Amino acid sequence: MTLYINNDFPMLNRKISGNYLTYLDSAATSFKPSAVLEAEKLYGVYSTSNVHRSHNALSEEISYQYEIARRKVAEFINSDPHNIIMTPSTSYALAIVANGLNLSKEDTVLCSMMNHHSHLLPWLKIAKVAYFQSDPLEPLDLEEVIAAIKLHCPKI
Ligand SMILES: Cc1ncc(COP(=O)(O)O)c(C=O)c1O
């Protein structure tokens, strides 16, 4: 069975220089499926309000929807809703984790040379960062990682 989901993403109907888009940069910005675009529109037109910040009808309605979404995400990854935190971006989420680990400038965090800049920033702020070499065209070289762990004794 083939799952054909392209039709759910209106952006993929766009042509550039006569060709349909092939998009591989979803770590930076992901295209939204029609269901999400429609939900955003309904929010903007009928339900604009703040989540968990007021007790008026609009806020309570949208807070309820927000919690339903949290439950759906939890179910999808077989987790508990209390484990699901919504953040505005990946970098923001990583910064929360990094800042919650009680690291100091004496501690070393080991990162791949291939890590995106945004992945390095929170670690650079609070700890020392060491790198292991990796070839973007090859699978992770575990020998390289083990050698770097022995050399740098990273906390993370
Ligand atoms: C590969 C990659 N990782 C992470 C990020 C950071 O994502 P966010 O904007 O969600 O913090 C980006 C953003 O450009 C990215 O391209």
- Give tens-digit pLDDT for 35-46: 999 999 999 999
Chain segment 37-80, per-residue pLDDT in tens: 999 999 999 999 999 999 999 999 999 999 999 999 999 999 99
Does residue 145 lie within any of the structural domains? yes
Atom of ligand 1 nearest to the CA of 93: 11
Residue 55 one-letter amino acid:
H
Instruction: List the residue whose alpha carbon is closest to atom 5 of ligand 1.
Output: 28
Does residue 71 lie within any of the structural domains? yes
Our count of domains for the chain comes to 2
The alpha-helical segments, DSSP class H, found in the chain are: 34-46, 57-76, 90-99, 117-126, 142-152
Does residue 40 lie within any of the structural domains? no
What distance in angstroms lies between residue 138's CA and the mean position of ligand 1's atoms?
21
Using the predicted structure, report yes or no on whether residue 1 has a pLDDT greater than 80.
Answer: no
**pLDDT of res. 2:** 64
Count the Cβ atoms, other than its own, within 10 Å of residue 110: 19
Same domain for 95 and 67: no
Q: Whole-model pTM?
A: 0.76
What distance in angstroms lies between residue 58's CA and the mean position of ligand 1's atoms?
32
Chain segment 97-112, per-residue pLDDT in tens: 999 999 999 999 999 9
What distance in angstroms lies between residue 105's CA and the mean position of ligand 1's atoms?
25
Ligand 1: residues with CB < 6 A are 27-28, 89-91, 116, 118
Does residue 107 lie within any of the structural domains? yes
- Spatial contact of 130 and 109, defined as CB atoms under 8 Å apart: yes
Instruction: List the residue whose alpha carbon is closest to atom 11 of ligand 1.
Output: 91
Range of the domain at 126: 90-152
Using the predicted structure, report yes or no on whether residue 4 has a pLDDT greater than 90.
Answer: no
Atom of ligand 1 nearest to the CA of 88: 10
Same domain for 70 and 116: no
Q: Which residue has the tokens 């499926």?
A: 33
Does residue 97 lie within any of the structural domains? yes
